[in-house]
Chains A and B, each alone.
Chain A
Amino acid sequence: MLKIEGLTATVDGKPILKGIDLEIPSGEVHAVMGPNGSGKSTLAYVLAGREGYEVTGGSATWDGHDLLSMEPEERAAAGLFLAFQYPVELPGVGNATFLRTALNAIRRARGEPELDAMQFLKLARQRMRELSMPEDMLKRSVNVGFSGGEKKRNEILQLALLRPKLAVLDETDSGLDIDALRIVADGVNAMRGPDFAALVITHYQRLLDYIVPDRVHVLMNGRIVRSGGPELAKELESEGYAAIQARAA
């Protein structure tokens, strides 16, 4: 279970998160929705431990681990995965090398044997077929020259390979056409189960037609202003954030 209590954080000294309370039990998928600039990515980065995102109060624990005191790689080893809103390019680093290095780092942390090049390729090819990704994406440099959709699919491929226990997906739907959206959603849905929890950050309701969340939270100006069932997303879609804000105020 992910448990966030009274979490506050600043960026460049500016308060962005102003007291977040959120619980996601294992087995559940929660959506966080909110207008641009409301602090969604900041929440994701704080959970993953990015430099420059300074926690000023509150706590965040995952299965009893104090996430906030851990290095980013320790959080990854504990099962946290962040699908980036803007996946990062690594020129010259082959995607296959990157994926295998990451997978073996995670496997080491779990006490599992590392995969050699052949074993890895077999696994990667299988996952890529499931995600309808062309195999040549393994040979290209990580995210370099990838289209927006390819980058997002590459994030989902990593999710499928690393099989985390807690996934934070930051606007994985933005910039995807409807077919790509379905593939990405299938990738996430395939992970669902009693040992998996996800925080799905999105700006639009559309993704939630494919990944049906257990709960929906509305983040505005660094605070969760409303929580509800999947129907809350629909309400947002028709009424807009302004109406919600007016009511919450």
Chain B
Amino acid sequence: MSVTTETLQTVQSVTEGTYKWGFETDIEMEFAPKGLNDDIIRFISARKGEPEWLLEWRLRAFKAWQAMSEPRWAAVKYPPIDYQDAYYYAAPKQRPKSLDEVDPELLRTYEKLGIPLKEQEWLAGVTTSPDGTERAPVAVDAVFDSVSVATTFKERLEKEGIIFCSISEAVREHPELVRKYLGTVVPPADNFYAALNSAVFTDGSFVYIPKGVRCPMELSTYFRINAKGTGQFERTLIIADAGSYVSYLEGCTAPMRDENQLHAAVVELIAHDDATIKYSTVQNWYPGDAEGKGGIYNFVTKRGACRGARSKISWTQVETGSAITWKYPSCILQGPDSVGEFYSVAITNNFQQADTGTKMIHLGPRTKSTIISKGISAGRAQNTYRGLVRISPRAVGARNFTQCDSLLIGDRCGAHTVPYIENRCMSAKVEHEATTSRIAEDQLFYCRQRGLSEEDAVGLIVNGFCREVLKELPMEFAVEAQKLLQISLEGSVG
């Protein structure tokens, strides 16, 4: 069944604000001992059969992390995290060598989530959406807790010279590429969470698109936190060589638990001359229950470097889950005429907190950036847009357009906009627009008079509010994102 079809069914079966992805998979796991020290890092590195340089790299990052403290500037509140009271490595005991060997229990897990890991299912022509239209297959890398369990369509992609595999495999098979690029966009000591990730990262995806190649299908990674008391520290590295194009999507879910689990990822993107990377996220980590208990802490560093002339990096994110989201996908616009884009929907309900936005760093001449942020708050949730637009003196003729819109549902939630603009170039043009609104009573009444339930009406109006962002998502995922928005808001009215 296609991602869309099955997810839709999953979604349609949802009633009254329940998180349908909250189940747990019973599978034999291998853990590293709890806690964080040099030995744990050596354990992880050894388990993954890493070369010495990478172990050294990790240990240096760990040293840097120990000297750092958690950032406190974000508008989020949470009790102190005990970093010694978590597992940093959890992996299914049985390590598959090929797709055929993947534990059936795992396959069932991903099936339940609507992610087919069997290429045959795509190829057998079941890739149709509910309205009967054909869907292009999507290559998937599935990361279960600390390890990648399967990557589909590798061979077909290899024919084009595209490398799509887990980062562990890339370390083994393509060490020269990993070594050349890893940590060049997000240095190991960039910030507290990035340093932690650099020390203990376990798996994630690696993509390399060779010169002039347009990737023939969507690439996607699906992250699943399953094990209890486990943090997930994935690392993604995407390199688009000159003149290439790739569209990449990540999705994520986790079981419902009373405890808070930490997810601290690092994503690095590199675009060379005339290359384009489109990176989309549909983030649906468990948000905690209606009383604010449990949920994922999503502390993520995502950054792209437009190194080449006329290169382009476009971030699209739909953030519906997590108890706390701390995330600023950014672009460093080095190449002349390079383009950075950030399209974001962040939706918070109940006790969720989101502090999210972007940084656009204009270094090259005539660089251009666009920021469209849509924040929706309901319940007692807090939603902050935090953005930085920095224009260096050399970025002659640079341009930025920022639009931040907030929508409030109910009167106990909050929306905040914190834009920083540092323009050090006379010829640059920076525009910023911001609005805050509520769903109007007359809009709701109009929809209900036409037969829509109050929740459907809110869903429709919210989807309309987010349209500029949703239309940036790959077709395959736009429908799911719309449904997710609606589900996230359940119980927010009436």
Contact = CB atoms under 8 A, between A and B. Distances in A.
Interface in B439-454: 440-443, 445-454
A101 B460 contact: yes
Interface in A51-84: 51-52, 71-73, 75-77, 81-82, 84
A227 interface: no
B490 interface: no
Given A91-B465, A92-B466, A98 B460 contact: yes
A106 B131 CA distance: 20
A205 interface: no
B131, B443, B446, B460, most chain A CB atoms within 10 A: B446
Contacts of B449: 48, 72-73, 75-76, 81-82, 84
Interface string B110-152: 0000000000000000000001100000000000000000000
Interface string B173-190: 000000000000000000
B451 A90 contact: no
B464 A141 contact: yes
B465 A102 contact: no
A93 interface: yes
A92 B468 contact: yes
A92 B464 contact: yes
Contacts of A106: 450-451
Contact of B450 (A89, A92, A162): A162
B461 interface: yes
Given A50-B445, A88-B443, A116-B131, A93 B450 contact: no
A191 interface: no
A90 B446 contact: yes
B472 interface: no
A116 B442 CA distance: 28
A76 B464 CA distance: 22
A87 interface: yes
B456 interface: yes
A90 B464 contact: yes
Contact of A92 (B440, B456, B465): B465
Interface residues of A, number: 35
Q: Is the interface of B mostly helix, strand, loop or mixed?
A: helix
Contacts of A141: 464
A162 B463 contact: no
Interface in B359-373: none
A51 B450 contact: no
Contacts of A142: 464
A89, A93, A142, most chain B CB atoms within 10 A: A93
A162 B447 CA distance: 13
Interface string A140-177: 01100000000000000010001000000000000000
Contacts of A98: 447, 450, 460
Contacts of A73: 448-449, 451-454
Contacts of B440: 88
B460 A93 contact: yes
A162 B442 contact: no
A50, A75, A82, A106, most chain B CB atoms within 10 A: A50
Contacts of A94: 464, 467
Contacts of A137: none
Contacts of B463: 92-93
Given A77-B451, A91-B465, A162-B450, A72 B445 contact: yes
Nearest to A158: B450
A220 B440 CA distance: 30
A174 B464 CA distance: 28
Contacts of B446: 84, 87-88, 90
B60 to A, nearest CB: 48
B451 A105 contact: yes
A97 interface: yes
Interface in B443-494: 443, 445-454, 456, 460-461, 463-468
B430 to A, nearest CB: 25
A249 interface: no
18 contacts: A48-B445, A72-B445, A73-B451, A75-B449, A76-B448, A81-B449, A88-B446, A91-B464, A92-B464, A93-B463, A102-B451, A105-B450, A105-B451, A106-B451, A116-B131, A117-B131, A118-B131, A162-B450
Give 7 closest A-B pairs by Cβ, nearest first. A92-B464, A93-B464, A105-B451, A102-B450, A92-B467, A88-B446, A72-B448
Given A90-B447, A105-B456, 11 more contacts: A48-B449, A52-B441, A73-B452, A90-B446, A90-B461, A91-B465, A92-B466, A92-B468, A93-B463, A102-B447, A118-B131
Interface of A: 48, 50-52, 71-73, 75-77, 81-82, 84, 87-94, 97-98, 101-102, 105-106, 109, 116-118, 141-142, 158, 162
Interface of B: 131-132, 440-443, 445-454, 456, 460-461, 463-468
